[in-house]
A and B are shown apart, each in its own frame.
Chain A
């Protein structure tokens, strides 16, 4: 009897220890959206952070949808500590109460981030450009602006665009003569939305739609389309590693930020903050650019960017010389759901 009791106590102690040990283990679970971008983060941040702090990083992949995270938070079982997301998704997740509101005193001075890249529930990782890419071996005459998408006379053939209203509506308005600075003012009115869709109507039958970031390069490579909108790093990756002859058009690009956030109920928030502080240091923030052509979001990081990486970044001085637009996250937070519905209705017609 006594033996049994002792054993039970030992068993209980062991399980308690195991439980505690598990909860405080130096393990950081990060959910990122895979591909060349996750590889770059591994080299620039995951591995050096592990080496410096001794924390183990568990990588998980997903497609950028918050549905899975919401299900985790709703059921109170959150096996991830950090999740990489788009800016609009940060606002959405903040509103829905599934992302933690961040304490910037644990991360770094908020005013040292480029405007719009340090939000209540998400902190910027990098800046990327929505650009136009084409294959010069197929297209004899080179497009000079993203807005050449809308010129089917000069550039006949199919073009690929992201199956999402954001960026496409902005470009449509710019192609219709709206100055970049006025785009969101016009788009907030019903007439402006009509105007953008009317412009998109003119090329609707020539468009192939893509969803995933890897698709534009595939569509260009299989010659399914003559030009495509894309995220600049994916195209650069195809040029550098797959030796594709593609070219990028920077003029009229739209700049956006990738973000990282802590889901509510994450098991290891302290370590998550430690990681956020680590990657937000200017010298570390600049490191990602050496592995994928996405620029830093810290204003004081530019001097740390490797010299050979700089000319390929979307926020390199040369690429901001022409017309460009910084995506307005607040606008898409407010009107996103409605415009997505209108866009889907338009697609179906």
Chain B
């Protein structure tokens, strides 16, 4: 990529020089614009299959899935009459009897259509305990035997309980902020304002913070290990460098699952690492390395090391050793020479490597699940849980959306401060 940049930069410079030499600057620049337009068109045509593939396989599914975070028509579709009956309810106290009758009619219709279970589940997600109440009421309505629906509804205390009707009224709006707010540990209160959920239910902000902390710690660790190693590889003779590179790449080509499983063998209580620490006398008793934050960071650092190291190495390789010698000969001390000559040139590589590792760490799933303890699960583990176990895809979409926004925001800040053109990938 960096090889392309100079020629692209050169072209406008040449172009600027050309009109001065030509007889008619207007025609020349128009011709040039046409030529550039053709160039751009060709570039676009070449990239089109890729862009199309990205849009179809990546863009559209992501948008569709994320739209689930704010669009949940289950309750609205299931309760059309109730929606109408609640239209002019002020939200205070139980609504008029007409709403109860409308709800009874909607419930019976859902039972006839076979969608009562879906409705029960959707209500239960917002109001724990609603599931069995809906199903119980539906069964009673079915076997009513001439009893008026209003009487049946009033006989079930659940339908007159304080929280029930606001939840139903909220649910009849298909566009909802319920899931996005939940993903940030927030909720609507009875007065229509937004409040924090009680501390024993607050979870996601903490998990987001934890995810960023682990990602930052792993990034730092890979940098501390990767920088000297990259320097070593770039400064030894070619044959040795090739061997070292292979040593870095071999584990890189092994699947994450295999490497994670290997770490569980090494880190367990009676595993090799604990044996070694005891034998060396570094630890006096066996440490809890498995199911802990420290074990998680060790394993993730090992997996991420090549992602940080390779961009740094690719930049270091291009820096001529004579530059440092020149700095020494001009009177710089080694540290000054490193700081003012070497580091600024390596910097784009460091940034690219760290950014890559940091963003990849935000999406980690397997390693925290296998090596992390209960309090080391990252946001992806929660998203997976909502997708696979809870079947609450709306909540999963909301969490994914927040993660995506955070990640893009971080990337944006990063690009703003450093400038994307300074990043040098491999």
- Would A334 and B128 count as touching, CB distance under 8 A? yes
Q: A223-B269, A333-B132, A335-B128 are in contact. Are A342 and B200 (CB under 8 A)?
A: yes
Q: Is A97 an interface residue (CB 8 A)?
A: yes
Residues of B within 8 Å of A70, CB to CB, are: 391
A188 and B264 alpha carbons, distance in the complex (Å):
38
Bound form: Cα–Cα A96–B131 in Å: 11
* Contact A341 B203, beta carbon cutoff 8 Å: yes
Taking a contact as CB atoms closer than 8 A, the residue among A208, A340, A344 that contacts B291 in the complex is A208
Which residue of B has the minimal Cβ distance to A338? B128
Secondary structure class of chain A's binding surface, majority of residues: helix
B121 and A96 form a contact (CB under 8 A): yes
Q: Is A151 an interface residue (CB 8 A)?
A: no
> At the interface, yes or no: A41 with Cβ under 8 Å from chain B?
no
Q: How far is the CB of B66 from chain A (nearest CB, A)?
A: 17
A222 at the interface (CB under 8 A from B): yes
- Distance A210 CA – B224 CA, assembled complex (angstroms): 33
- Docked CA distance A345–B290 (Å): 21
A208 / chain B contacts, CB cutoff of 8 Å: 291, 373
Q: Who on chain A is nearest to B269 by CB?
A: A224
Q: Is A348 within 8 A of B203, CB to CB?
A: yes
Q: Which residue of A lies closest to B389 (CB)?
A: A65
Distance, CA A124 to CA B200, complexed state (A) = 36
The residue from B118, B203, B206 contacting A95, defined by CB atoms under 8 A apart: B118
Query: Could you tell me the distance between the alpha carbons of A96 and B210 in the complex, rounded to whole angstroms?
Result: 32
Task: Give the distance to chain A from B68, nearest Cβ to Cβ, in Å.
Answer: 12
B387 at the interface (CB under 8 A from A): yes
In-complex Cβ contact of B269 among A188, A222, A345, A347 (8 A): A222
Chain A residues closer than 8 Å to B268, beta-carbon distance: 222, 224
A sample of 15 more A-B contacts (CB under 8 A), given A92-B391, A333-B132, A345-B201, is A67-B388, A67-B391, A97-B114, A97-B117, A222-B270, A223-B270, A334-B128, A334-B129, A337-B125, A337-B392, A344-B377, A344-B382, A345-B200, A346-B200, A347-B374
14 contacts between A and B (CB under 8 A): A70-B391, A95-B121, A97-B114, A163-B374, A209-B373, A222-B270, A223-B270, A224-B290, A330-B132, A334-B128, A344-B203, A345-B200, A345-B202, A349-B206
* Chain B residues near A (Cβ < 8 Å): 114-115, 117-118, 120-121, 124-125, 128-132, 200-203, 206-207, 210, 268-270, 290-291, 369, 373-375, 377, 382, 385, 387-392
Q: Which residues of A contact B (CB under 8 A)?
A: 63, 65-68, 70, 92, 94-97, 163, 188, 194, 197, 207-209, 211, 222-224, 330, 333-335, 337-338, 340-342, 344-349
